[in-house]
Every structure is written in structure tokens, then in C-alpha cells.
Amino acid sequence: MARLRLFFKCFFIENDKSCFECCIKCLGGVPYASLVATILCFSGVALFCGCGHVALTGTVTILESHFSRVTSDHAMLTDVIQLMQYVIYGIASFFFLYGIILLAEGFYTTSAVKELHSEFKTTICGRCISGMFVFLTYILGVAWLGVFGFSAVPVFLFYNMWSTCATMRSPMANMTNIDSICVDVRQYGIIPWNATPGKACGSTLSDICNTNEFYLSYHLYIVACAGAGATVIALIHFLMILSANWAYLKDASQMHAYQDIKMKEERELQDITSRSKECLNSYT
């Protein structure tokens, strides 16, 4: 009975040790940098796409209700906004897939670096794929810089309206005619100059700033802009990771090629030595 207890005790302790070592080995192969970049990329794209989609819908509602009551005046703008919403769907789907691919590539390159001195060998195809990801991530990073700048435009426009409303509520506004304080969205090129009314003044402008559509759209545009900035940071992070991994894979391939040449030379030297010994023995 005592021997049986000792057997089970040793068995479970050894299993616990083996599980612990296995967990440590698995955790050591996780590409934490790629994992952080993937989470940041997913968060940024989700904020940009989700908030941007809702904010665009609120913008159309504000324009139709207060700045352009004729449908034909803002028909082109409505079509552009709908197209942008469909583009948002495509961006969300693409980056969800692309982030997973980059994370998988991070696992692959991490395994290649961890097993640099073992029998693991990188192929030319694998290095070409890593280089292609570096180039594609660079292009996407430049594109998202443009998206980040473009997403700041509606924030600027809404901030101008909000600051104008705040000016009307200040004590200095009592000294002037409030109806003379206006916001004309036609000057931004959003709607044509023949759109009616095209601008909002005084109490009408103050009522617009107090609506839920304006308040929600303004803050959603800010969050969408922040999401675009987070995506840019994530892509820069991915670019650094991919560049470093590509360099490591290149060094790994050169190291394995050097080791193969060295092993061949050692074998040839051993063969020559053994042959010379055989010849010497036969001569003697």
C-alpha cells in the first residue's frame, strides 16, 4: 500500500513537472510583440469603423434637417457617405483577416528564431513571404496616415460649430447680436452654394448644437480619429516586428548554410584522413 502511494505520488509530481515545462515552452514561443500589435490593430480598426459608420449617419441627419432640406442638393453627398460606409465594411473585414495572418506569421518567425541552432530550416519561399508582408504593411501604414488625416477633417468642422455655440453662450455674446453669429457649411464644399438654407445662425445654431445627433456625431468622430491613430501605431509596430523577423530569418538561413558547408568540409577531411591511414597501413 505504501509503495502504491509512492508510485501515484511520483507519477503525479512528474506529470505536474512535465505540464509545467510544456506550458513554459509554449509561452516562450508566443510572439508577444505581434500579439500586442494585433490587439491594438483590431481595437483601432473597430473604433474607426464602428464609430465612423454611426457618425456618418448622424451627419446626414443633421444636414437634411438643418442645412439642406432639398433632397437634390445633397444627393451626391448622401451617395458618397453610403459608399464610405460600404468601404468601412470592407476595411473591417480585410484588417480582421490581415491581423490574423500577421499574427500567424509572427508565430512562424518566432519558432524559426527560437530553433535557430536546431534542424529547423527556413525556405526561400518563407523569406519572400516575410518580405512581402513588410512591403504590404508599409503601404498600408502610409495609406492609414492619409485616413488618419482625413478623419480629422470632420472633427475640425464639428469643433468649429461647437466652439461657435460656446461663444454664443459666453457673457461677451450679450454685447452683440446673436443672430449675426452663423455657421455656413457651404464654404467647406459639403453641399453646393445653391443649397437652402445652407447656414444656421443664432438660436437655430444653438439648437443644433444641443441635439443628440450633433453631440453623438461629434464625439464619435473624435473616437474614430483616435482609432485611426491607434491603427497607424499598430501598423508601425507590425512593420518593426516584420523587419526584425525578416532580418532574423535571413541570418538563420546564412547560419544554416554555413553550418552545412562546415559539416561537409569536416566529413571530407575525415574521409581524407581515413583514406590516408588505410594507405599507410597497406604500405607498411
Strand partners, 266: none
Q: Quickly tell me which residue has 455655440 as its cell.
A: 165
Share of residues in the chain with pLDDT > 90 (%): 18
Among the ranges given (8-17, 78-87, 265-274), the one the predictor scored with the smallest mean pLDDT: 8-17
Instruction: Round to whole Å and give the CA distance between 41 and 38.
Output: 5
Written as nine digits, the cell of 281 is 597501413
**Which has the minimum average pLDDT: 91-105, 240-254, 266-280?**
266-280
Measure the CA–CA gap between 108 and 248, rounded to whole angstroms.
12
Of 55-69, 136-150, 171-185, the least confident: 171-185
pLDDT digits (tens, 9 = 90+) for 147-188: 999 999 999 988 988 888 887 777 565 556 677 778 888 888
DSSP lists the bridge partners of residue 201 as 182
In single-letter form, the type of residue at position 234 comes to A
Residue 134's pLDDT is what? 86
232: amino acid identity, one letter = V
Nearest to 228 by CA among 35, 93, 45: 45
> Cα separation of 67 and 45, whole Å?
31
Residue 271 has pLDDT above 50, yes or no: yes
Q: What is the pLDDT of residues 76-107, one digit of tens each?
A: 888 888 888 888 888 888 998 998 888 888 77
**Spatial CA neighbour of 238 closest among 163, 174, 144, 150:** 144
Q: Answer with the residue of higher pLDDT: 55 or 245.
A: 55
Which one is predicted more confidently, 102 or 280?
102
Contacts of 108 (CB under 8 A, 6+ apart): 126
**Which is it for the CA torsion 90, 92, 95, 96, positive or negative?**
negative
Q: Which of 26-30, 70-74, 156-160, 272-276 has the highest mean pLDDT?
A: 156-160
**How confident is the model over 35-51, as a mean pLDDT?**
91
pLDDT per residue as tens digits for the range 192-203: 877 778 788 877
Segment 124-144 shows an average pLDDT of: 82
Q: Which run of H or E residues covers position 182?
A: strand 182-184
Give the pLDDT of residue 23: 61
Question: Band of the pLDDT at 59, cuts 50, 70, 90?
Answer: confident
**Grid cell 459608420 in the structure block, residue:** 53
Q: Which of the two residues, 271 and 90, has the higher pLDDT score?
A: 90
* pLDDT score of 239 more than 60: yes
The average pLDDT across 252-264 equals 61
Q: Return the higher-pLDDT residue of 197 and 273.
A: 197
Q: All 3 cell numbers of residue 204?
A: 437655430
Mean pLDDT for 204-230 is 89
